[in-house]
């Protein structure tokens, strides 16, 4: 059996009465890397947040199934325990909670009571991942994301991804604000997880991340839905030609979800 | 309408009590005068907290003698939690009700002239030294009825004196154990650091009286003479039945420093004042407090730093968590007197509300009578941030555990400041118990 399957079916999402997603359909199987691209304001990040259960978004229609189980009926922590992970664009800062304590609580949350990860094993695994991602070891003792630079926050998200080993990960603009060296490190971390069990949905605005992580499938979002899907060559063409040709092809005038009057 | 509280103890009683303790004459006179004053003085009026119905009169003044303790094994587990498992605490005093159950001070410190003993012994053996500081520089007898009652009825406490130029590395720890559920605690703690000396002092108050009512009326005076440094940690953990008035006041002289780290964890109604007078030039104080309110208790917390000397610096940090139907007022007061130029008063009060019915008010107050100063304040009352919860839960952490992490994180700046590891852990446990 090749990992888990995440099926997004006809997903409609609103925030404060504004429609953001208008029927997204997407299926991610274990072993597959999908990229979702599109201009700003087309609903990409909303898709990621809605799947994870962000408190600000309201699902009005559709479903999200993980191996046939309805994700939208689960609490946020249950979604994570079921095997989902979201690398966030803007992770929260939590004062007074060290990154290391948070990581250990997260790992233990997915294990049975009485089967907590032994402290030494945890430290060894964490140190290994910190080295791999070229993160200063001090970060583990700093308060979670507090005072972290943009790049440090992104690396921290990938650190969590590597230690939590989810079935399906969604990475929301994990490349934004990274310089080229940090981008390479972050990509290295994501690629390390690549195997036939692990499925990944990479949301990005730029093609440049896809120079380091080759997607199996590329989807373009406009007006709150997936308007075009293809292979890695689609990303290359978007890099070279932009999005206008898609708009022309599909007769879209404004790619944004809703027009502000 | 004010209800006159009839004083339960008279002159004869107090004279007898003082004689039984072999107190010096000045102490007996101070007590009797205070008793006189108590009758005419008003009760304190803490801001926005009505204490007129609180129990300040129903208590047992002189409880049965607390038994001596020969070894740690005789202590209940709740008390053992305060002690460091790994090492023998050389400097430790345990007061059981009103008597000393255990007392130890490192020989090296004794040889240097350090005094660390209960207040009754200090009054007999170091009368002049105690007299010089007792309710003089810091707290006055006649501030209000409760300070006067305290002076009249004082029945326990400790005296700490560090001579000039003596630096104490290891903390001095005191455990005040109100074992008798009705025993009152009129404790007087007097900590004096003479010129160029330094010490770390940590105290714990503990009782288990849920049903039985009693009173704790505590005055703590902390004197940092020129260039002395005092680190003061405290965890208050009186049970529901004890009504508490606790007044911890510090005075700093030239170049002196006092650092406070207080865990205010009482379960009963409480008025807690922590005030520091920065008298000497270039003196400094840092006052950090954490508080948890639960059940239907009402509490009033004041953290206040008054600047008299030039170039003085005062930092206040108050963090409170409120749940159930608990109510609390957090006053953060920075006062800069005329003449205290180039001083800096900074304060921050944060209250985290965990339930709809809890009430918490943060009142930042700056009172400034001098132009050439710096001052700043921040205050907030809020709920647990839903985005923080979302972030933590998105890693599989349950709502309960996520909330626990956020609360511990919120209180960490003060908890981490406590100087003894075991007390730090013990405070974490108390927080855990109170929050869940």
Residues B209-214, mean pLDDT to the nearest whole number: 92
Q: Report the percent of chain A where pLDDT is more than 70.
A: 98
pLDDT, residue B84, reads: 76
Task: Pick from A74, A79, A109, A110 the residue to mutate for testing the B interface (most B CBs within 10 Å).
Answer: A109
Does any CB of chain B come closer than 8 Å to the CB of residue A92? yes
Position A70 pLDDT exceeds 70: yes
pLDDT tier at B217 (50, 70, 90 boundaries)? Answer: very high
C-alpha span between A11 and B65 (Å, rounded): 73
Count CB atoms within 10 A of the CB of residue A123: 14
CB contact under 8 A, A109 and B405: no
C-alpha span between A201 and B36 (Å, rounded): 79
Q: In what order do the strands lie in the sheet containing A225-230?
A: A84-87, A168-172, A199-203, A33-37, A217-222, A225-230
Residues B108-114, mean pLDDT to the nearest whole number: 97
Give A204 to chain B, closest Cα distance, Å: 20
pLDDT, residue B200, reads: 95
CB contact under 8 A, B394 and A97: no
Reported as a single tens digit per residue, the pLDDT across B52-95 is 999 998 899 988 777 888 777 788 887 888 887 766 678 999 99
- Which one of A54, A101, A109 has the shortest CB-CB distance to B398? A109
Contacts of A88 in chain B (CB under 8 A): 391, 394
Position B399 pLDDT exceeds 90: yes
Position A144 pLDDT exceeds 90: yes
Nearest to B371 by CA among B346, B347, B336: B336
Does any CB of chain A come closer than 8 Å to the CB of residue B391? yes
CB contact under 8 A, A105 and B397: yes
Rg (CA), chain A: 18
Q: In what order do the strands lie in the sheet containing B284-293?
A: B99-104, B92-96, B172-178, B198-207, B229-237, B257-264, B284-293, B313-322, B344-353, B374-383
**Which residue shows structure tokens 């004794």?**
B110
Identify which has the larger pLDDT, B71 or B332. B332
Reported as a single tens digit per residue, the pLDDT across A18-36 is 999 999 999 999 999 999 9
The lowest-confidence range among A177-186, B33-42, B61-70 is B61-70
Does any CB of chain A come closer than 8 Å to the CB of residue B400? no
Whole-number average pLDDT of chain B: 93
pLDDT, residue B1, reads: 37
Quote the Cα angle for A105-A175-A30, to 5°: 65
CB contact under 8 A, B406 and A97: yes
pLDDT tier at B416 (50, 70, 90 boundaries)? Answer: confident
- Which one of B388, B395, B399 has the shortest CB-CB distance to A164? B395
pLDDT, residue A62, reads: 97
Position A261 pLDDT exceeds 50: no
The residue length of chain B stands at 436
Residues B33-41, mean pLDDT to the nearest whole number: 94
- The pTM is what? 0.85
C-alpha span between B397 and B114 (Å, rounded): 50
CB contact under 8 A, B388 and A81: no
Strands A69-70 and B298-307: unpaired
B residues 408-427 lying closer than 8 A (beta carbon) to A: 408-413
- Count of pairs with CB atoms under 8 A, one residue in A, one in B: 84
Give B356 to chain A, closest Cα distance, Å: 19
CB contact under 8 A, B394 and A76: yes
CB contact under 8 A, B392 and A91: no
Contacts of A86 in chain B (CB under 8 A): 394
pLDDT, residue A65, reads: 98
Give A83 to chain B, closest Cα distance, Å: 9
C-alpha span between A193 and A188 (Å, rounded): 9
Residues A129-152, mean pLDDT to the nearest whole number: 95
CB contact under 8 A, A77 and B410: no
Position B3 pLDDT exceeds 70: no
ipTM for the predicted complex: 0.96
By C-alpha distance, the chain B residue nearest A89 is B391
CA-to-CA separations, B285 to A23, A178, A179, B250, B337, in angstroms, rounded: 60, 42, 44, 9, 16
Does any CB of chain A come closer than 8 Å to the CB of residue B230? no
Q: In what order do the strands lie in the sheet containing B214-224?
A: B115-118, B156-162, B187-193, B214-224, B242-252, B270-278, B298-307, B327-336, B359-368
- Annotate B64-83 with three-state secondary structure: CCCCCCCCHHHCCHHHHCCC
The lowest-confidence range among B77-81, B299-303, B345-349, B356-360 is B77-81
Contacts of A105 in chain B (CB under 8 A): 395, 397, 401, 405
pLDDT, residue B270, reads: 98
Top mean pLDDT of A210-214, B38-42, B274-278, B377-381 is at B274-278
pLDDT, residue B34, reads: 97
- Annotate chain A with three-state secondary structure: CCCCEEEEEEEEEEECCEEEEEEEEEEEECCCEEEEECCCCCCHHHHHHHHHCCCCCEEEEEEEEECCEEHHHCCHHHHHHHCEEEECCCCCCCCCCEHHHHHHHHHHHCCCCCCCCCHHHHHHHHHHHHHHCCCCHHHHHCECCCCCCHHHHHHHHHHHHHHHCCCEEEEECCCCCCCHHHHHHHHHHHHHCCCCCCEEEEECCCCHHHHCCCCCEEEEEECCEEEEEECHHHHHHHHHHCCHHHHHHHCCCCCCCCCCC
CA dihedral B17, B21, B27, B30 (to 10 degrees): -10
Reported as a single tens digit per residue, the pLDDT across A88-124 is 999 999 999 999 999 999 999 999 888 999 999 999 9
* Token pair recorded at residue B236: 């208050």
Question: Could you give phi then psi for residue B422, rounded to 5 degrees?
Answer: -65, -35
Identify which has the larger pLDDT, B421 or B25. B25
Position B384 pLDDT exceeds 60: yes
CA dihedral B402, B404, B405, B409 (to 10 degrees): 140
Does any CB of chain B come closer than 8 Å to the CB of residue A88? yes
pLDDT, residue A253, reads: 85
pLDDT, residue B87, reads: 64
The lowest-confidence range among A142-146, B247-251, B422-426 is B422-426
Count CB atoms within 10 A of the CB of residue A25: 14
- Annotate chain B with three-state secondary structure: CCCCCCCCCCHHHHHHHHHHCCCCHHHHHHHHHHHHHHHHCCCCCCCCCCCCCCCCCCCECCCCCCCCCCCHHHCCHHHHCCCCCCCCCCCEEEEECCEEEEEECCHHHHHCCCEEEEHHHHHHHCHHHHHHHCCCCCCCHHHCHHHHHHHHHCCEEEEEEECCCCECCCCEEEEEEECCCCECECEEEEEEECCCCEEEEEEEEEECCCCCCEEEEEEEEEEECCCCEEEEEEEEECCCCEEEEEEEEEEECCCCEEEEEEEECCCCCEEEEEEEEECCCCCEEEEEEEEEECCCCEEEEEEEEEECCCCCEEEEEEEEEECCCCEEEEEEEEEECCCCCCCEEEEEEEEEECCCCCEEEEEEEEEECCCCCEEEEEEEEEECCHHHHHHHHCCCCCHHHHHHHHHHHHHHHHHCCCCCHHHHHHHHHHHHHHHC
C-alpha span between B333 and B235 (Å, rounded): 22
Residues B400-406, mean pLDDT to the nearest whole number: 92
Domains annotated for chain A, with CATH where assigned, are: 5-93+167-250 (3.40.50.300)
Give B119 to chain A, closest Cα distance, Å: 38
CB contact under 8 A, B402 and A86: no
Position A68 pLDDT exceeds 60: yes
CB contact under 8 A, B397 and A109: yes
By C-alpha distance, the chain B residue nearest A98 is B409
CB contact under 8 A, B385 and A79: no
Q: List beta partners, residue B130.
A: none
Does any CB of chain A come closer than 8 Å to the CB of residue B394? yes
Identify which has the larger pLDDT, B371 or B7. B371
Position B7 pLDDT exceeds 90: no
pLDDT, residue B433, reads: 85
Reported as a single tens digit per residue, the pLDDT across B282-291 is 999 999 999 9
- Which one of B397, B402, B408 has the shortest CB-CB distance to A96? B408
pLDDT, residue B434, reads: 86
pLDDT, residue B6, reads: 59
Does any CB of chain B come closer than 8 Å to the CB of residue A96? yes
Residues B124-141, mean pLDDT to the nearest whole number: 97
pLDDT, residue A208, reads: 87
CB contact under 8 A, B399 and A160: no
pLDDT, residue B2, reads: 44
Position B254 pLDDT exceeds 70: yes
CB contact under 8 A, B394 and A52: yes
pLDDT tier at B36 (50, 70, 90 boundaries)? Answer: very high
C-alpha span between A180 and A165 (Å, rounded): 25
Residues B27-53, mean pLDDT to the nearest whole number: 94
Does any CB of chain A come closer than 8 Å to the CB of residue B378? no
């Amino acid at each position: 059996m090749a990992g888990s399957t995440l099926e997004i079916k006809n997903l409609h999402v609103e925030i404060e009465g504004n429609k953001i997603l208008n029927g997204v359909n997407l299926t991610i199987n274990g072993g597959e890397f999908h990229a979702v691209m599109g201009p700003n304001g087309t609903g990409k990040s909303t898709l990621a947040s809605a799947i994870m259960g962000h408190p600000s978004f309201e699902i009005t229609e559709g479903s999200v199934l993980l191996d046939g189980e309805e994700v939208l009926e689960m609490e946020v922590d249950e979604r994570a325990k079921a095997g989902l992970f979201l690398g966030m664009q803007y992770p929260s800062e939590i004062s007074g909670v060290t990154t290391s304590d948070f990581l250990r609580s997260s790992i233990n949350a997915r294990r049975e009571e009485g089967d907590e990860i032994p402290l030494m094993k945890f430290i060894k695994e964490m140190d290994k991942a910190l080295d791999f991602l070229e993160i200063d070891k001090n970060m583990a003792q700093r308060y979670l994301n507090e005072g972290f630079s943009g790049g440090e926050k992104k690396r921290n998200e990938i650190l969590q991804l590597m230690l939590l080993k989810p079935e399906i990960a969604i990475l929301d603009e994990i490349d934004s604000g990274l310089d080229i060296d940090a981008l390479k490190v972050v990509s290295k971390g994501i690629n390390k997880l690549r195997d036939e069990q692990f499925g990944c949905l990479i949301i990005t605005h730029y093609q440049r991340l896809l120079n380091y992580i080759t997607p199996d499938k590329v989807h373009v979002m406009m007006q709150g839905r997936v308007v075009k899907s293809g292979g890695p060559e689609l990303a290359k063409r978007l890099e070279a030609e932009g999005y206008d040709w898609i708009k022309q092809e599909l007769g879209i005038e404004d790619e944004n979800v809703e027009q502000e009057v | 309408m004010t209800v006159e509280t009839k004083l339960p103890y008279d002159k004869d009683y107090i004279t007898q009590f003082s004689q039984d303790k072999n107190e010096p004459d000045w102490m007996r006179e101070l007590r009797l005068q205070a008793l006189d004053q108590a009758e005419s003085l008003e009760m304190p009026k803490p801001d926005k907290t009505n204490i007129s119905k609180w129990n300040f009169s129903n208590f047992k003044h002189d409880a049965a003698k607390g038994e001596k303790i020969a070894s740690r094994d005789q202590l209940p587990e709740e008390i053992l939690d305060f002690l460091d498992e790994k090492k023998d605490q050389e400097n430790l005093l345990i007061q059981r009700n009103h008597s000393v159950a255990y007392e130890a001070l490192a020989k090296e410190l004794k040889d240097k002239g350090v005094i660390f003993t209960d207040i009754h012994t200090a009054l007999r053996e170091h009368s002049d030294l105690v007299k010089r500081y007792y309710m003089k520089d810091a707290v006055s007898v006649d501030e209000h009825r409760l300070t006067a009652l305290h002076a009249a009825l004082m029945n326990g406490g400790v005296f700490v004196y560090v001579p000039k130029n003596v630096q104490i590395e290891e903390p001095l720890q005191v455990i005040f154990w109100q074992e008798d559920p009705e025993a009152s605690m009129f404790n007087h703690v007097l900590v004096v650091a003479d010129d160029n000396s330094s010490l770390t002092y940590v105290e714990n108050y503990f009782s288990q009286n849920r049903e039985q009512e009693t009173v704790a009326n505590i005055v703590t005076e902390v004197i940092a003479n020129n260039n002395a440094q005092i680190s003061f940690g405290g965890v208050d953990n009186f049970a529901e039945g004890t009504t508490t008035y606790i007044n911890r006041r510090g005075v700093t002289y030239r170049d002196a420093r006092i650092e406070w780290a207080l865990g205010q964890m009482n379960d009963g109604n409480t008025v807690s004042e922590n005030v520091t007078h920065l008298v000497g030039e270039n003196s400094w104080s840092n006052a950090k407090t954490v508080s948890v309110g639960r059940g239907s208790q009402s509490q009033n917390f004041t953290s206040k730093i008054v600047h008299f000397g030039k170039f003085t610096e005062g930092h206040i940090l108050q963090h409170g968590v409120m749940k159930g139907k608990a109510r609390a007022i957090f006053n953060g007061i920075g006062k800069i007197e005329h003449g205290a130029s180039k001083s800096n008063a900074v304060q921050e009060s944060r209250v985290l509300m965990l339930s709809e019915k809890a009430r918490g008010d943060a009142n930042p107050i700056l009172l400034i009578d001098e132009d050439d100063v710096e001052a700043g304040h921040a205050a907030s009352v809020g709920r647990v941030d839903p985005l923080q919860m979302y972030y933590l839960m998105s890693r599989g952490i349950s709502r309960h555990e996520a909330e626990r992490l956020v609360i511990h994180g919120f209180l960490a700046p003060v908890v981490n400041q406590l100087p003894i590891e075991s007390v730090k852990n013990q405070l974490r446990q108390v927080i855990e118990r109170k929050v869940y």
